[in-house]
Amino acid sequence: MSDRSVLELLATHPFTADLSEDQQAQLAACARIAHFEPDEYLLREGQPATAFYLIVSGLVSIEVFVPGHGPRPLQTVEGGSAVGWSWMLAPSRWEFDARALERTTAVVFDAERLRALFLEDCCLGLRLVQRLLFIVTERLRAARLQLLDLYGPPRER
Amino acid sequence: MVKPAIATPAATNPFFPLPFLVISRRRETRDTVTLRLRPLSDVRLIAQPGQFMMLSVYGVGEVPISVSGLPRRPGELEHTIRAVGSVTRHLVALHPGDQIGVRGPFGTSWPLQLAHGQDVLLVAGGLGFAPLRSALLAILRERWRYRQVIVLYGARSPADLLYRRDLSRWLQRPDLVLRITVDHPDQYWRGQVGVVPNLIRQVTAFFEPANTVAMICGPEIMMRFTIRELQKHGIPDERIFLSLERNMQCAIGLCGHCQLGPFFLCKDGPVLPYSRLAPFSEIREF
């Protein structure tokens, strides 16, 4: 897939759509397009975190493997969102599994090149880190709400 | 010759329950059933989607339950009930042929007329889908009156999903956007996992915020986060409607058990626009 296709996707993806064309081009230079079939893993717990995924379409399950129980989904991520930030922090290993539930298309960034780009262009780096932080915050909020067991039994009547 | 109307105690006294017969019982989940009720008197109790009835089990007690369906015949009622206490456990254990007492309808209804010509966004969590189901059925019965119809539904687990037959049918409809999510999936679940407010950003392409009427029902924390998300996407507070559950006892605004700020939720609610509730949103429960 050519850079142009990556550029087209970056121009419409909510994570990157409002960046300048130059910035999108800088990012496109670090990225490729990948397709994942149902049940194919994007990333595996414990493996080196070498990529960052912008999900274009499809559905991805973030999950943890529980011995004796198999994969336990924690959350799903749909087109328009992102997967994976373990590459930003040492020791850069995935903490969970991510598995496609449907045929999924993603823009996959090379983490090493992305880190280098962030250092080279700190303004772009800061903008993207802020966006990542927004996603991390959203996921944290969702996880907290899930912990509350909102739909449990109400008071007795 | 005009037949003289006979005033029954129930017709004149809002505290007097009318006898109803259970004509069908459908198990929804492990602890939840949907009962269809037929009046045993000539008095018709016509409930609008969003309103509630007081259902009484003779000798046990009375509970407020929203209508969850539309009448198939005049005067019939449909209620979805989860067994959480003494009265509701008795209601869930009823079978066709059993009798209960019913009074109502009480309270305000969903703003279906306001939604004519508008996009409609229904956001339901858990048992909160029951009051919204009656609104959705009314909307689908007159589908041409509305623009986009979007339904977001979150449940605890796949086993806790209500109205599975309806859901399968609605998923096939091209004129309805339906997204379902669960908090705790089982090994067979292939759908979305996560909380229901997260679904909103997936459907923003389907509604115009200024021309949308949103109706929300579910646990109050879920509604709070859903409101924030709707506000983020530009839906004005006066177009966000909530159904609030409280300790309704008399159901006619006399006893004060359901008071929230200046509102008696049994008669000023249960359905209210958020613009009226917002000043009281700092009260620990809405």
A136 pLDDT more than 60: yes
For residue range B159-170, list pLDDT tens digits in order. Answer: 999 999 999 999
Q: State the nearest Cα–Cα gap between A73 and chain B, in angstroms.
A: 7
| Alpha helices by DSSP H, B1-123 | 9-12, 86-92
Task: Choose among B63, B187, B194: nearest Cβ to A142.
Answer: B194
Q: What is the ipTM of this complex?
A: 0.80
Q: Do domains B9-106 and B119-280 have the same CATH topology?
A: no
Considering the domain delimited by B119-280, tell me its CATH architecture: 3-Layer(aba) Sandwich (3.40)
So what's the pLDDT on residue B3?
Answer: 47
Q: Assign A3 a pLDDT band (cuts: 50, 70, 90).
A: very low
Task: Find the CB nearest B156 among A61, A138, A151.
Answer: A151
Position B283 scores a pLDDT of 54
For tokens 């939604």, what's the residue? B115
Predicted confidence at residue B5, as pLDDT, reads 44
Q: Residue A95 pLDDT more than 60?
A: yes
In the predicted structure, residue A141 carries a pLDDT above the cut 60: yes
DSSP per-residue string spanning A51-71: EEEEEEESEEEEEEEETTTEE
What's the pLDDT score for residue B257? 76
Q: Show residues of chain B in contact with A148, CB under 8 Å.
A: 221
Confidence of residue A128 (pLDDT cuts 50, 70, 90): very high
**Separation CA B13–CA B44 (nearest Å):** 14
Q: List the CATH code of the domain at B9-106.
A: 2.40.30.10
Taking CA atoms, what residue in B is nearest to A14?
A: B201
Q: Which DSSP symbol is given to B102?
A: E
Give the residue-averaged pLDDT of A38-42.
Answer: 95
Which tens digit of pLDDT belongs to each residue from A63-78? 998 888 888 899 999 9
In whole angstroms, how far apart are CA B157 and each of A46, A57, A149?
A: 28, 25, 10
Domains and CATH numbers, chain A: 3-147 (2.60.120.10)
Residues of chain B with pLDDT under 70: 1-12, 281-286
- Domain definitions of chain B by residue range: 9-106, 119-280
